[in-house]
Amino acid sequence: MRRFIPYFSYLRTVKTMLFCGILCGVISGAVGGLGLPLVVNYVIPRVLVADPVPTQATIQSPLKSNFVNRIIDKFLPSTADTQASTTPQVAVSAQATAPTRPKLTALQVWMIALWLPIIFLVRGGAGYLGTYLIQHAGVKILEGVRLEYFRKLQVLPLSFFHRFSTGDLITRGLNDTNQLQTTLTVISNDLIVQPATLVGTIIALGFLAYREQGVWLMFVCLMTVPLSIFPIRYVGKKLVKRAILLQAQAGSITDRFTENLAGIKEVRAFGLEKYEVDRFARLSGGLVRAQMKVVKYAQALGPSIEILSAVGISITFVYAYNAGVHSGSFLGIITALFLSYNPIKRLGAVSNELKRGSASLERLEQVLHEPVKISDPENPVPVNRLKGDVTFKSAGFFYKDGEHVLKNISVTIPSGTFCALVGPSGAGKTTFANLVPRFYDVTEGSLLIDGIDVRAMRFSDLRRNIALVSQDPVLFNDTIYANLLLGRPDATREEVIDAARKANADSFISAFPQGYDTLAGERGSLLSGGQKQRIAVARAFLRNAPILILDEATSALDSESEAAIQEALKKLVIGKTVIIIAHRFSTIKDASKILVFEKGLIVGNGTHSELYSSDALYRSLYDRQYTKAV
């Protein structure tokens, strides 16, 4: 329970609404738990055929003199009163008279008949209002937790996303936050309402039993209530592990959906439909098994408590028979005893809900408590527009201890340099480029831009000075204009269109029926590869940053699209520090600096002609590509 307390802070904005909801719930619970047994015991016997009327010697029983009876007597005549007023004064035998119906006026009958509707109206109305208000508060919890989770994902380093699949993170953000909302809502409601109901029924039960036969009947009635704790504890222990497994299986299902939809063309091209269905069926079967394990234990709690309640009622019945308890009193006691088990069942359900909520919270906290190792400095160095001098000093990077991706990198890329990165796959080229905008931080040494350590700059200042054109640019499911505006959100429409013209994108954009207001589709699915690349180049034009990082933006395009983008890039790189991850050597022969990577080290540094004559690795990579081309 303690681990949920910090998350109640999300209720601060709706604390008045939550208080009113809980108050309504308490009223509903108290009216139902206390009112119904008293009606059964005191009111109904005054309307229907009563128990045998006692003799004159016993007519002033303890029941007749108690506080509740005195209040009711003001409104309704008792059976004994009616009998006394309507029967001639004759000698009263030691035997009780036959059962008789009290004589009531029509108004009195209707007053009695309306007691139950009034009780249920108050109970139901207060319960409905309380549930509505608390559910509203629960939605605010969901909003707060989900927003915090999403906000945390925006600041975690890219290395974090190597450890978790997309589907699993989506499930945590949707399913687990929903479960946490449900749990906190149930806690807020039932941990107040159900104890209030239970206390009301126990007060009614103890009062009725004690007034009828004293402390022993009260003890017999109450002794089975504590026994209900044992199945609650047993089920709770079994449920928590099953709940964690269930959420993990749900994450696997979401991941399978995401992966399949992302690769739908490959699935069709290779005829993998049946294979994918079989894989999904196995995961789905695992999810069903996990769900049924949770259901097995969660649903076992209600019947267990009901069986215990039936045993308690049976014991009470035997004791009441032997003690000679009157039927009216017995019905009131049994009603109170029966009603006391419902809040116990609900509290058992709360216990189960806490276990499921704990499982979801554990998964959420893996993200929420993940340390943010890359963040803005406490006292950042003020930065405006940088020149673009990039310097690595004995820099190294590793994802895990002992697994270096880059080692002892010392190199300077002066501003205005066209620098190409070449080398075999996995040599460290992409990691080198990703360190510049602080997608990762160097784990050894330092990285400076214009003599300032990038870790001393704000993210916003640093990245405002860097433009990125990747090999597979991402477009969001928004208009083309909105996707272009990502390059510089404060740009005017004229500046956006001018950037599109420079990137050779204006012609195809204007050809769409909606022009710049055309939707790009999910990940730009409604555009061709060449069109997406030109929009990415246009964003870089719009940003006009002094440092430009290119992940070989033309390597996967047809010759026509490549020519259009190459023409745009020639204009884009003028006067900028360019770092290009080269896949085609035809694009880097004119580079002013080429860095050759091998196994995380820079093994070559120079121009094309210098490296071709002096560096065996560079020469072999270059010759191999051109031999294949021929």
Has domain 390-629 been given CATH number 3.40.50.300? yes
Phi, psi at 421, each rounded to 5°: -110, 120
Q: What is the pLDDT of residue 239?
A: 67
The band of 445, judged by pLDDT with boundaries at 50, 70 and 90, is very high
The band of 93, judged by pLDDT with boundaries at 50, 70 and 90, is very low
Local structure of 270: helix, strand or coil: coil
CA separation, residue 440 to residues 140, 163, 553 (Å): 34, 15, 22
Show the tokens assigned to 542. Answer: 């719009």
- How many Å apart are CA 265 and CA 69, to the nearest integer? 80
Cα–Cα nearest to 183, from 331, 415, 349, 425: 349
Interacting residues of 530 by C-beta distance below 8 A, sequence separation 6+: 557, 558, 560, 561, 562, 564, 565
Interacting residues of 553 by C-beta distance below 8 A, sequence separation 6+: 469, 470, 471, 473, 533, 536, 537, 565, 569
Q: What is the pLDDT of residue 141?
A: 75
**Does 57 score more than 60 pLDDT?**
no
The least confident of 356-360, 383-387, 452-456, 464-468 is 356-360
- How many Å apart are CA 386 and CA 115, to the nearest integer? 81
**Does 475 score more than 70 pLDDT?**
yes
Q: What is the pLDDT of residue 100?
A: 53
CA end-to-end distance (rounded Å), the chain:
71
- Residue 210 or 461, more confident: 461
Amino acid, single-letter form, for residue 496: V
Mean pLDDT of 1-20: 72
Tens-place pLDDT, residues 263-275: 776 677 767 788 7
Tens-place pLDDT, residues 364-383: 888 888 888 888 888 999 99
Mean pLDDT of 486-498: 89
The band of 63, judged by pLDDT with boundaries at 50, 70 and 90, is very low
Sign of CA dihedral 377, 379, 385, 389: negative
The band of 452, judged by pLDDT with boundaries at 50, 70 and 90, is very high
The band of 59, judged by pLDDT with boundaries at 50, 70 and 90, is very low
Show the tokens assigned to 24. Answer: 């309504």
Phi, psi at 530, each rounded to 5°: -65, -40
Task: Provide the b/e sequence for 582-606 (b: ≥16 CB within 10 Å).
Answer: bbebebbeebebbbbbbebbbebeb
- How many Å apart are CA 438 and CA 454, to the nearest integer? 7
Report the CATH number of the 2-47+104-368 domain. Answer: 1.20.1560.10
Q: What is the pLDDT of residue 413?
A: 93
Amino acid, single-letter form, for residue 527: L
Q: Which residue has the tokens 């009828």?
A: 212
**Does 412 score more than 90 pLDDT?**
yes
Same fold across 2-47+104-368 and 390-629: no
The least confident of 120-129, 308-317, 599-608 is 308-317
Range among 42-56, 114-128, 341-355 with highest mean pLDDT value: 114-128
Q: What is the pLDDT of residue 381?
A: 92
List the domain boundaries for the chain.
2-47+104-368, 390-629
